[in-house]
Chains A and B, each alone.
Chain A
Amino acid sequence: MEKYNTKGDRTMFIQGVGALLIVSATTFAGYAFFAKDKYRLKELGEIERGILLMKNQISYLGTPLAQLLDEISWKIEGVAGLAFQEIASRMEERQGNSADEIWESTWVELGKKSYLTAVDLNELMAFGRTLGFLEKEQQEGSMDMLLHYLREVEERINKRLDKNGRLYFSMGVLGGLLMVITLL
């Protein structure tokens, strides 16, 4: 009798652990949906800050790209900071045929390690193609275009997070509970 009861407890325990795992996993999945947008938003924000600083340096000081990207890389975080630093160092060493080539190859490498989407990276590449050979006003214009894109996307993500942020969590928890009930 005692032996039988122990087996029943063990089954209950395993079921409990299983249920907890399922709920945790689905909650985490819900959080992952939320976090992906949140981190993407943060990275886009840092890029926006970097481009804004770039624009000011180009407009008022006319600082060459290698120097200004290096200076800015210390002021911004995440993948944007890393990318700016890498681009600055490659430009200083004249490692590419053009600014576009250096900008693109760096973002292709670092983009994989970021939360940026293919569309974000495409916009960054398009901006890179205008780097280096334009005069001041045109360069400012191309930065304005990128800033416009970044702000628009950030606004969209912010709205989505406000609207769906809690929903992702709730969906995760409730989805997990539903699966547990169904399995039981």
Chain B
Amino acid sequence: MQMMEEIWRLLPVEVKKRLREEEMLNNENIQEIRLRVLRPLFVKTNKNKYFLKDGDKDWIVMNKHIKEAVEKLGGYSLYAFEEELKQGYLTVAGGHRVGFCGKAVLEDGRVKTLRQVSSLNIRIAGEVKGCGERWIPYLFEDNVPCHTLIVSPPGCGKTTLLRDMIRCLSYGVNCKESYNVGVVDERGEIAAMKDGVPQMDIGPCTDVQENCPKADGMLFLLRSMTPDIIAVDELGKEADFIGVEELLHAGVTLISTVHGNDMDGLLRNKKIKNMLEKIENGRVVFLSKKCGVGTVEEIWDTHGKIQYERG
């Protein structure tokens, strides 16, 4: 609920009022809120997906609601989030991610910023303590933590699982000792730092490098904090994999997430294939939503052997 409070502050007054009534009425936890100009307000909860009603009719989102939401979400300072806007999303206090859609402004063929925002997708960050505990023993070989890649399509709980694994390793849950974990939290979704204090439980032995590109952040942590494990979310850019390669040579364990569906699909991505080939002892954890968000389907090792398969 504490995390949800952050989101209430940032929503347009009318939307907040309607959602609060709805949440109290149905006793549900909101997971996703979508605002689209002149279309009904869409809400996804832990139990349901629906359009918000106003009596018999749908409750329609107006342009003023989007404008107010953009101003509040951007802290009335859109210039401060130009880089994030270029990517199409923004991470707000509490680690919640807000996706934007609108009219792209181009400069030299590249997106400079977004104008006339027409759709917003607010994804409420969830902290599920304990969801990673069961899988920690699978990440070890001869009591040594293995490089681990968590793979799933969007919205299957990669970041949530990563966060809990960081917590477990930092506390030493289900492993022989606690580890110094360095986290590169480029988008502020893992630790949700506020004034230097993590808002999520990431353990007592965790150092966070926030708002830093992953490649730079990994090397920074490597040099400055002598971590046992480095965790990063969503590898994707060329530079990220260059940073990972440096890390692999440095003898530090990497835990990361990446978008994907299954092993075949994953190996079609050359960057990931190259990375996995260089890893001696590694684990690949596949997630799905089949039995709810965060369902672990399979755990592979980098020798192609399945260590766990959901029955």
Q: Are B82 and A135 in contact (CB under 8 A)?
A: yes
A93-B9, A94-B9 given; A136·B71 CB < 8 A: no
Tell me whether B22 is interfacial, beta carbon within 8 Å: no
| A99 interface residue (CB < 8 Å to B) | yes
Contact indicator per residue, chain B 62-75, by CB within 8 Å of chain A (1) or not (0): 00100110111011
The secondary-structure label for the interface of chain A is loop
- B308 contacts chain A at the CB level, 8 A cutoff: no
Say yes or no: A97 contacts B13, CB within 8 Å.
yes
Taken together as a complex, chains A and B put the C-alpha atoms of A139 and B13 apart, in Å, by 26
14 contacts between A and B (CB under 8 A): A62-B82, A64-B75, A66-B75, A94-B10, A97-B64, A97-B71, A98-B71, A99-B71, A102-B76, A132-B78, A133-B70, A133-B78, A135-B82, A139-B79
Instruction: Give the contacts of B44-89 with A (CB-CB under 8 A).
Output: 64, 67-68, 70-72, 74-80, 82
Using CB atoms and an 8 Å cutoff, list the residues of chain A in contact with chain B.
Answer: 58, 62-66, 91, 93-94, 97-99, 102, 131-136, 139
Cβ contacts under 8 Å, B80 to chain A = 58, 62-65
Closest to B72 in A: A94
- Contact indicator A98/B76 (Cβ below 8 Å): yes
B contact set with A: CB distance below 8 Å: 9-10, 12-13, 64, 67-68, 70-72, 74-80, 82, 112-113
| Shortest 3 CB-CB contacts between residues of A and residues of B | A99-B76, A64-B77, A132-B76
Query: Given known contacts A65-B75, A133-B70, A134-B78, what 4 new A-B pairs fall within 8 Å (CB)?
Result: A64-B76, A97-B13, A97-B64, A98-B68
Residues on the B chain within 8 Å of A94, using CB: 9-10, 72
- Tell whether, in the assembled complex, residue B79 and residue A134 are in contact, meaning their CB atoms are under 8 Å apart: yes
- Complex Cα–Cα for A7 and B253 (A): 105
Q: Using Cβ atoms and an 8 Å threshold, which residues of chain B touch A133?
A: 70-71, 78
Q: Do B68 and A97 touch (CB < 8 A)?
A: yes
In-complex Cβ contact of B113 among A62, A63, A135 (8 A)? A135
Bound-state Cα–Cα, A133 to B73, Å: 11
> Hey, which chain B residues are within 8 Å of A135, CB to CB?
78-79, 82, 112-113
Residues of A contacting B71 in the complex (Cβ-Cβ under 8 angstroms): 97-99, 132-133
Min C-beta distance of B103 to chain A, whole Å: 14
A65 to chain B minimum Cβ distance, whole angstroms, is 4
Check B113 against A91 for contact (C-beta < 8 Å): no
Closest to A90 in B: B76
Given the complex of chains A and B, what is the CA–CA distance between A63 and B75 in angstroms? 10
Docked pose: A93 CA to B78 CA in angstroms: 17
